[in-house]
């Protein structure tokens, strides 16, 4: 899978690519990442990519011509590519969208700056407008990195275990169960005995219970659209019957 970043700060993207899951995926040849400097497509000696907004107001707006030129320089993978504008006004990014985007062969990120980009870029260039949350960042680079990381780890071979991404938080609509490793006791806190029992069915049941308990406590809204089994409903009924909401 190919990821393209269109940005005026390519160094921000390069730092993200240097380590971690994405870096290893690049080394394995499972994904490729290309960074395009929008300033290279500015039509003046000063490589200007922004200007004052029509109608007045504070801040500067990114010009459409350099962005359009940068986008045209990127080779697109036919109908299997998506041009994504990162914006706080976009569709909220979540795990379901990550899986949807992972179906494509190429994602092209338009990373805005300043007060935003010329509206005609959104109308003429973007296939999708995406937000990673209800807050404002200084630019789209960090948001694009978040989307890249979330999507890349869904590509077969990127993560070590074949089920690693299937057991993550939000897969199946629930928060993930807690994890423990050595030592068995740390600062007076002991690993739950069931995890040391070797009984795989009891461990599975405990993990599902803790996942439901944690979701009920922290994100009860997720339960409304989660895919719950009859066993899940029984566990939830028992938790609610005991009024059990444990402190973390």
User: Is 88 known to be catalytic?
Assistant: yes
Neighbours of 30 (CB within 10 A): 15
Q: Are 141 and 84 in contact (CB under 8 A)?
A: no
- Average pLDDT of the chain is 92
pTM for this predicted structure:
0.85
Average pLDDT in the 115-119 region? 92
User: Is 128 known to be catalytic?
Assistant: no
Give the model confidence (pLDDT) of 159-218 as tens digits. Answer: 976 555 555 555 578 999 999 999 999 999 999 999 999 999 999 999 999 999 999 999
Per-residue model confidence (pLDDT) at position 53: 93
CA 104 to chain centre: 15
- 23 phi and psi angles, rounded to 5 deg: -60, -45
Q: Are 141 and 111 in contact (CB under 8 A)?
A: yes
Query: Which three-class secondary structure string do you get for 138-181?
Result: CECHHHHHHHHHHHHCCCCCCCCCCCCHHHCCCHHHCCCCCCCC
Helix/strand/coil percent split, the chain, to 5: 40, 20, 40
Give the model confidence (pLDDT) of 218-231 as tens digits. Answer: 999 999 888 899 99
Neighbours of 162 (CB within 10 A): 9
Query: Quick one: pLDDT band at residue 156, thresholds 50, 70, 90?
Result: very high
Q: Are 84 and 109 in contact (CB under 8 A)?
A: yes
Q: Give strand ranges (E) for the chain.
A: 2-7, 32-37, 50-51, 61-62, 81-92, 106-110, 128-131, 185-186, 189-190
Rounded distance, CA 242 to CA 187, Å? Answer: 29
Choosing from 24, 88, 178, 219, the catalytic residue is 88
Structural domains of the chain in order of their starting residue, each with its CATH number = 2-152 (3.40.1280.10), 169-242 (1.10.1270.20)
Q: Are 12 and 37 in contact (CB under 8 A)?
A: no
Choosing from 128, 153, 205, 208, the catalytic residue is 153
Choosing from 40, 77, 115, 171, the catalytic residue is 115
Per-residue model confidence (pLDDT) at position 243: 85
Q: Are 102 and 155 in contact (CB under 8 A)?
A: yes
Neighbours of 53 (CB within 10 A): 15
Q: For residue 78, is pLDDT > 90?
A: no
Q: For residue 105, is pLDDT > 60?
A: yes
Rounded distance, CA 105 to CA 74, Å? Answer: 14
Choosing from 65, 129, 168, 171, the catalytic residue is 168
The set of residues, in sequence order, having a beta carbon less than 8 Å from that of 194 and lying 6+ positions away, is 202, 203, 206
User: Is 91 known to be catalytic?
Assistant: no
Tokens of 146: 């978040």
User: Is 168 known to be catalytic?
Assistant: yes
């Amino acid at each position: 899978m190919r990821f393209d970043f269109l940005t005026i700060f390519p160094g921000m993207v390069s730092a993200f690519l240097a380590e971690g899951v994405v870096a290893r995926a690049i080394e394995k040849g499972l994904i490729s990442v290309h960074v395009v400097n929008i300033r290279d497509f500015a039509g003046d000696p000063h490589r200007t990519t922004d200007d004052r907004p029509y109608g007045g107001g504070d801040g500067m707006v990114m010009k459409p011509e350099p962005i359009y030129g940068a986008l045209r320089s990127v080779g697109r993978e036919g109908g299997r590519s998506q041009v994504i504008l990162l914006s706080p006004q976009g569709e909220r990014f979540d795990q379901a969208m990550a899986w949807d985007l992972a179906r494509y062969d190429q994602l092209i990120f338009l990373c805005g700056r300043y007060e935003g980009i010329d509206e005609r870029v959104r109308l003429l260039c973007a296939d999708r407008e995406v937000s990673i949350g209800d807050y404002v960042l200084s630019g789209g680079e960090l948001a694009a990195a978040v989307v890249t990381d979330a999507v890349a780890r869904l590509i077969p071979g990127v993560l070590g275990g074949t089920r690693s991404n299937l057991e993550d938080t939000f897969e199946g609509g629930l928060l993930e169960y807690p994890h423990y490793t050595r030592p068995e006791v740390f600062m007076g806190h002991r690993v739950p005995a069931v995890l040391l029992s070797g009984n795989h069915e009891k461990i599975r049941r405990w993990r599902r219970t803790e996942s439901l308990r944690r979701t009920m406590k922290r994100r009860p809204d997720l339960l409304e659209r989660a895919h719950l089994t009859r066993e899940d409903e029984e566990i939830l009924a028992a938790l609610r019957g005991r009024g059990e909401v444990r402190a973390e």
